Amino acid sequence: MGQPAILTVDDDPSVSRAIARDLRRRYADRYRIIRAGSATEALDVLKELKLRGGRVAVMLADYRMPQMNGIEFLEQAMDLFPHARRALLTAYADTDAAIQAINVVDVDHYLLKPWDPPEEKLYPVLDALLDAWQATGDQELPDLRLVGHRWSEPSFQIRDFLARNLVPYKYFGADEPEGRRLMEAADAGPESIPLVVTADGRALPRPTVQEVAEAAGLSVTPGRDFYDLIIVGGGPAGLGAAVYGGSEGLKTLLIERQAVGGQAGQSSRIENYLGFPDGISGAQLTDRARRQADKFAAETLNTREVVGLRTDGSARTLTFADGGEISAHAILLATGVSYRPLLAEGVAGLTGSGVFYGSAATEGPACAGSDVYIVGGANSAGQAALFFSRYARKVTLLVRGDSLEASMSYYLIQQLAQVANIEVRTRCEVIGAHGDGHLQAITICDSKGGTKATVECGYLFVFIGAEPRTDWLGDAVQRDEKGFVRTGSDLLANGERPRGWDRDRDPFYLESSVPGIFAAGDVRANSIKRVASAVGEGAMAVALVHRYLEAQ
């Protein structure tokens, strides 16, 4: 297929020549460097490459061009090469406009002109983009194929699992021609839906998530019986710990029961995370962190649910739901939190069939032209409102409190106010959900006027508070009244150490009531519920694990 291409688009001939020169100097032995003088010319080049079966690794587009600016070009280019990495070239004066426009198209980076010296300001960015592209490639991948029903919760669960784990798949409705053909070929009836067909042609009727994970090539079996550090939970805290644990030579295993990234991985865009001034999607951040953990040989175990924890002498042992066990010198609890269920009449029966917890980004395109309602007033709800406003006719944010200021970041409140098809309604609650087979309407109680109204609604996304998923811990470690794990000084009641504590020291800052068992991120009592702080705690936990191991 020849060398993959790096395409540059700039209408200024001197800039175009300069960037092509710098790119050839470093990448010409591995990549074909193509430059175009306009967006129209670049699209023609991409179309020809597509017809010839070529590959494009990275596209660099100038922001300010006549007829079609860089954002508009990248929007169209994505249709031809959706896996190519994308960067915007901007002058300093255009930075603010470029950052705002980046929300329109999922740009990976932007570069300021001039970029001298390229060794500092150009090549590191391009190296990272090329590494990311090489991890997935631009060629057609042997996708899984899923046949399901539009409003089926089991079908949604598999689609959501594959999307959140960045597994390429193709979805076909059971009533579509291709869906019917796949079912006939697999000799499968309606009772087999959802039906997964693997790349090698195996048919999996009504598979479990673990069976889907195995078919997708995700790791579901640990590589050893004993580790230095086992991390339970693959959100920002768990990923941070996996990167630092692996990089510092610890035999590290990360266990995730659903999808690496946790709630942060579902965010459509995180804009206040240090080092990403133009924002980054939760999926992108998760993918980079996962690949970084892989680089340092930290193992990831998917779709395995941990249901028990005990102390075996100097070892700490976890029990899986299937009865298996795994042990380590130290355990880090990084299970985060789950969205609290919406306890309104009819909601439980429609979950996955119009009612969704979290952003459920797979539903975005299906919302086109519909009215979407979002329940919640924190950052996750605001980010979801911005995401779905790109598809829906109207997005209504229902907030129980008097305003957003107490629970949402200022920058998000400002962005919501600027989007014409987003409405924020305060002091409102959903008290009922209605529909035959899928959500069709909701009943809203407006406490300001004391009124109730039933409105048409096909999509309801819920972001109401969070609660730790720690019931499985039982009495293994101390938890507060809400279920969050107590650590460090929170365990020193009246200056006394926890009952059963057998060390001649106080618990370390992130250490639980059992030596060698640590907690980090949202699951920890009195933690700061932010992505940056969770990553920091994950890194700090590894340093404390080292101190614990050195004293053994």
Better pLDDT: 513 or 151: 513
Mean pLDDT confidence for 45-57: 86
426, pLDDT greater than 70:
yes
Asked if residue 170 and residue 120 are part of one domain, the reply reads no
* Residue 154 pLDDT: 92
Asked if residue 334 and residue 474 are part of one domain, the reply reads yes
Asked if residue 127 and residue 156 are part of one domain, the reply reads no
Mean pLDDT confidence for 471-490: 96
**Residue type present at position 312:** D
Number of structural domains, the chain? 4
**Tens digit of each residue's pLDDT (9 = 90 or more) over 57-106:** 999 999 888 888 888 898 888 888 888 999 888 876 566 655 655 655 56
Asked if residue 370 and residue 327 are part of one domain, the reply reads no
Name residue 511's beta-bridge partners: 518
Least confident of 277-281, 314-318, 381-385, 474-478: 277-281
Q: What are phi and psi of 9, to 5 degrees?
A: -130, 120
Residue at 400 is within a domain = yes
Residue at 220 is within a domain = no
Asked if residue 314 and residue 234 are part of one domain, the reply reads yes
**Tens digit of each residue's pLDDT (9 = 90 or more) over 333-376:** 999 998 889 999 999 999 999 999 887 777 888 888 899 999 99
**Residue type present at position 373:** Y
Mean pLDDT confidence for 282-311: 92
Neighbour tally for 550: CB within 10 Å: 7
Q: Give the residue from 463, 442, 462, 464 showing the smallest Cα distance to 453.
A: 442
Asked if residue 434 and residue 316 are part of one domain, the reply reads no
Residue at 191 is within a domain = yes
Could you give the C-alpha distances from 407 to 85, 155, 404, 448, in angstroms and in order? 34, 33, 6, 19
Asked if residue 260 and residue 209 are part of one domain, the reply reads no
Better pLDDT: 331 or 152: 331
Asked if residue 413 and residue 516 are part of one domain, the reply reads no
Residue at 101 is within a domain = yes
Neighbour tally for 380: CB within 10 Å: 24
Least confident of 11-15, 180-184, 447-451: 447-451
Percent of the chain with pLDDT over 90: 62
Could you give the C-alpha distances from 144 to 163, 182, 188, 431, in angstroms and in order? 12, 12, 17, 39
Each residue of 435-462: b (16+ CB within 10 Å) or e? beebbebbbbbeeeeeeeeeeebbbbbb
**Residue at a domain's end among 101, 136, 171:** 136
Whether residue 317 contacts residue 310, with contact meaning beta carbons closer than 8 Å, is answered with yes
**Residue at a domain's end among 464, 489, 510:** 464
185, pLDDT greater than 60:
yes
* Token pair in block for residue 186: 């697999």
**Residue type present at position 152:** S
Percent of the chain with pLDDT over 70: 96
548, pLDDT greater than 90:
yes
Confidence of residue 121 (pLDDT cuts 50, 70, 90): confident
Asked if residue 207 and residue 175 are part of one domain, the reply reads yes
Residue at 265 is within a domain = yes
**Tens digit of each residue's pLDDT (9 = 90 or more) over 381-413:** 999 999 899 899 999 999 999 999 988 999 999
For residue 194, the domain's CATH number is 3.40.30.10
Q: What is the largest CA-CA distance in the chain?
A: 74
* Residue 522 pLDDT: 95
Better pLDDT: 535 or 268: 535
Residue at 425 is within a domain = yes
Q: What are phi and psi of 38, to 5 degrees?
A: -160, 165
* Residue 1 pLDDT: 53
* Token pair in block for residue 185: 């070929």
For residue 42, the domain's CATH number is 3.40.50.2300
Mean pLDDT confidence for 473-485: 96
* Residue 274 pLDDT: 87
Mean pLDDT confidence for 175-183: 90
In angstroms, the first-to-last Cα distance of the chain is 56
113, pLDDT greater than 90:
no
**What is the model's pTM?**
0.76
141, pLDDT greater than 70:
no
* Residue 132 pLDDT: 84
Confidence of residue 21 (pLDDT cuts 50, 70, 90): very high
Neighbour tally for 383: CB within 10 Å: 26
Asked if residue 11 and residue 115 are part of one domain, the reply reads yes
Q: At what angle do helices 13-27 and 123-136 cross, to 10 degrees?
A: 60
140, pLDDT greater than 60:
no
Distance CA 522, CA 333 (A): 10
**Residue at a domain's end among 110, 136, 162:** 136
* Residue 108 pLDDT: 78
Confidence of residue 448 (pLDDT cuts 50, 70, 90): confident
Instruction: Report how far Cα 36 is from the mean position of its chain's Cα atoms.
Output: 34
490, pLDDT greater than 70:
yes
Residue at 221 is within a domain = no
* Residue 537 pLDDT: 97
Domain span at 368: 347-464
Asked if residue 449 and residue 356 are part of one domain, the reply reads yes
* Residue 137 pLDDT: 61
Residue at 79 is within a domain = yes
Confidence of residue 269 (pLDDT cuts 50, 70, 90): confident
Each residue of 368-378: b (16+ CB within 10 Å) or e? eebbbbbbbbb
Asked if residue 32 and residue 124 are part of one domain, the reply reads yes
* Residue 300 pLDDT: 96
Pairing status of strand 451-456 against strand 355-357: unpaired
Whether residue 523 contacts residue 333, with contact meaning beta carbons closer than 8 Å, is answered with yes
Mean pLDDT confidence for 497-523: 95
Burial class of residue 37 (count of CB atoms within 10 Å of its CB; 0-12, 13-18, 19+) = middle
139, pLDDT greater than 70:
no
For residue 354, the domain's CATH number is 3.50.50.60
